[in-house]
Homo-oligomer: A and B are copies of this chain.
Amino acid sequence: MDNDERIALLNRVKNGEIDVASASKMLEATSDLGYANIDWARKERTGYSEVVYCAGKTDEQILGIAQKMIDRGEENILLTRTKKSTYDVLSNQISDSIYHDDAHMIVLRPRRFFKSDKVIAVITAGTSDIAVAEEAAVTCETLGNHVDRIYDVGVAGIHRLFDKMPRIEKAHVIICVAGMEGALASVVGGLVRVPVIAVPTSVGYGSNFGGLSALLCMLNSCASGVGVVNIDNGFGAGYLASVINNG
């Protein structure tokens, strides 16, 4: 809950639109469900509500957390790393929701909005990197940004990248998603004047060692202005891009 929301709530108390006990409950900083301890103060601190990382959580736990957030009135609730089967369970209870297949993400009570006019470009080196790129793109969109998707412009055919430079140069932040050797981040980094967020992917085999090759490549970029997130961490890239874009 941020300051605006808090003032709105207190006005409802003042106007008798909500009883004091309920309002008090909504002003708590956390809700401890035993297995999860939801951080209602995060929005005020960081500008965004808590996002639910679903890997390693049971469907029951996910549903419990989701229900609690909906009860609280949250919108655009983002669930990452979800399985389709989890969505089948959730959507039975919470029909106001969508599943992003490529991105393996659920958005509960999705509401499209824009915090600014500035665009985030999400570019990939190859087709196989699209799943991670979509995680980034959906995150950006859910957090209120315009996104321009530019896929499969890796350095093996570098003119494909140059063809897209007019669109890329319009972006305020660039998310660059690449597996294998991850060279795209360095090349893009040398061509632009905006921040580049590099996302290494685990696409590849052998000595890519689950994304290590692209990760090291991006960390050692000879071009400046590149920040790196974890392997396959499309969400993290999207979140960081959003923070920058709305700065």
Contacts and interface: CB of A to CB of B under 8 A. Distances in A.
Contact of A220 (B160, B207, B243): B207
Interface residues of A, number: 97
In the assembly, how many copies of this chain are there? 8
A7 interface: no
Contacts of A81: 205
B213 A207 contact: no
B35 A127 contact: yes
Interface string A203-214: 111111111111
A36 B152 contact: yes
Interface in A27-72: 29-30, 32, 34-37, 39, 41-42, 45-48, 50-51, 53, 55-57, 61, 65
Given A195-B247, A202-B206, A156 B222 contact: yes
Contacts of A127: 35-36, 56-57, 61, 65
A228 B229 contact: yes
A228 B227 contact: yes
A173 B157 CA distance: 20
Given A42-B190, A55-B128, A65-B127, 19 more contacts: A30-B163, A35-B130, A36-B152, A37-B157, A37-B160, A42-B156, A45-B157, A46-B191, A46-B224, A125-B222, A155-B223, A156-B186, A180-B222, A181-B186, A182-B217, A206-B211, A206-B219, A212-B216, A221-B236
6 contacts: A37-B152, A39-B156, A56-B129, A215-B219, A224-B236, A244-B247
